[in-house]
Copies of this chain bind each other. A is one copy, B any other.
Amino acid sequence: MTATETATDAPPHPAAAALRERRDVSLTILVRREIERSIETGELKAGDWINEALLASRLGVSRGPVREACRGLEQSGLVKVVVNRGAFVREIGAQDARHLYELRAALFGFAGFQLAPIVTDDQIAALRALHDAMETASADTDLDTYYGINLKFHATLLAFTGNDRLAAAYSGFVRELHLFRRRALVSPGRMTASNAEHARIIDALAAHDPDLARSRMEAHVLDARDRVVPPTT
């Protein structure tokens, strides 16, 4: 009756995706994804307490997977666990936010430094396409679209270095930074200014100038740092 009867999986079964999705994914991973999603959508805000029992019953699982998920999230910086008091969504202070921006700047700049000498024409074209898309969103004052493409622009550039650890670390820092409040003070004017910086970054990469690319990319992120979290804090 069951699918395990005939093990003729030589041709990858078309409808096996749903089963695989549950076969090689533990409840712990599912719970972790759910918590990450809740944090990103804002259902869980920084400082919020994560009720183990409530979350467990809400997801129809026991507390074990929830606890394991929280331990993983703790190491990735999204959650703070206090002994005998529970797990809380991490609160990012101004100081931490500045530090995280600087980490982003260091990695992003280094990525440009590494990418500039080896970047291909196709990659430049891909980056320019993203830049153009942001230009359109900027003209429409579509903040959400701009923000999404902006993330993709950075991620794409990072991926072009071929250093996946670099890309993973960068996106981890970005995710942590989401926990810092009041980042939505992006005026429409800032979008065009920011995208102008993107254009100059692409130019530096296309010119195969590592030092120029680095300084522009680093400045790009450090400017965002000073804009989002003022130094006078």
Give this chain's copy count. Answer: 2
Interface size on A, residues (CB 8 A): 34
Given A107-B106, A109-B110: A96 in contact with B26 (beta carbons within 8 A): no
Bound together, the chains give a CA A22 to CA B26 distance in angstroms of 31
Bound together, the chains give a CA A84 to CA B163 distance in angstroms of 29
CB-based contact B75/A165 at 8 Å:
no
Q: What 8 A-B pairs have minimum CB-CB distances, sorted nearest first?
A: A106-B110, A75-B75, A99-B165, A71-B72, A68-B71, A99-B163, A71-B71, A72-B75
Interface check A229, CB cutoff 8 A: no
Interface check A7, CB cutoff 8 A: no
Pick 13 A–B contacts, CB within 8 A, sort by A: A28-B71, A67-B68, A73-B75, A74-B75, A99-B163, A99-B164, A99-B165, A102-B114, A103-B163, A103-B169, A105-B110, A106-B110, A169-B169
Interface check A42, CB cutoff 8 A: no
A95, chain B: closest CB distance, angstroms: 9
Interface check A121, CB cutoff 8 A: no
Q: Smallest CB-CB separation from A68: which chain B residue?
A: B71
Contacts of A162-214 to chain B: CB distance below 8 A: 163-166, 169
